[in-house]
Structure 1
Amino acid sequence: MVGLFWVDRAGCWLGAPPREEGVGIRLTDEGLETVAESAVVRSWTQVEQIAVPDAPARSAFRRGLSMAIDLATTMVGFGGPEGPPLMTVRVTHTDGANEHSVPSAAGPAYTEREVELSHRLLARFVAGELNPSLLRDWWRSAGSSASPKPAEREALLEQWCRQWGR
């Protein structure tokens, strides 16, 4: 997971991959694919903007505190979080706009900087300046078990945002 993106063999996802009954948004070099009961594929030329207005973002202190509370409540038998929080992905396209609820890939939250940089990277995908395969290439070279720490994720996102286009 790097920023708002989850990368695995199946591709690059905005948020986490879908659960069995859920919605997922896969990003490809060709466009954006909504994976659900009724799949929708939009080419990048059809997409005008992608926003994730309610991505769970917290400072390092608040993320640590939240993780400690989740751990403590789980240990004393009150249960822990039921699953990843959902976040809204708003896709504006040539035919209008759609909103999709997808699972967050961050537990319990992304850093505020990760969310900001992820939105910048999404804008570059929409503008046709970069391709999502950039993230898949990183995943392949880093190894499938790569799980960078927050500062490393931010550095990767900054590097990708500065990178020249196709």
Structure 2
Amino acid sequence: MFIAGSGFYLQGDKNQLAMVVTGVYIFAAFYGPGAGPVPFSYSAEVFPLQVREIGMGLATAITWFFNFVNALVFPLQIQSWGSGPAFYWFGCWNIILWFLVLMFCPETKQFTLEELDEVFSMSTSRQVAYGLASPAYWFRRYVLRQKVHRVPLHEYHPSEEKDRPMVEHREKV
């Protein structure tokens, strides 16, 4: 969104078009397979069986309601703020919401329904502490290529010194 918004300040139609299209393309390339389908897949996993239909219906209705609001408001934003600031607005919201998802939406991959009940019944401060430790784990594992293992969320206790969100595996010599 920031790349697309910055493109509106370039001189020349071809440069401007190239930058805006590149920014929108990069956003769509990451949003489509990543955050785009999350409301549907996440809500399908987290609701208990007895309320899953109602939960999925509400999640879908809320998603489409805000898509509708966005479609109505975006042309007004462009008209009153200009194209660049309108894209910057959505870029800022992406950053804010990335942190909120990191802290308040726990990972549900590879958990059984019983473990999911345990995950969603734990304290918010414990989920936030685990979420805020995630970027350090990702950096060590994917950038530094270290062999680290993550303690599962339902086993993570930030108050205990012995449990850490990451455990480094060392080979015995």
Rg bigger for which structure?
Answer: 2
Taking CA–CA contacts closer than 8 Å with sequence separation of 6 or more, which of the two structures ends up with the larger relative contact order?
1
In terms of fraction of residues, the more helix-rich structure is 2
Q: TM range, normalised to the smaller chain?
A: under 0.3
| TM, length-normalised to structure 1 | 0.27
TM-score for both structures, normalised by structure 2: 0.27
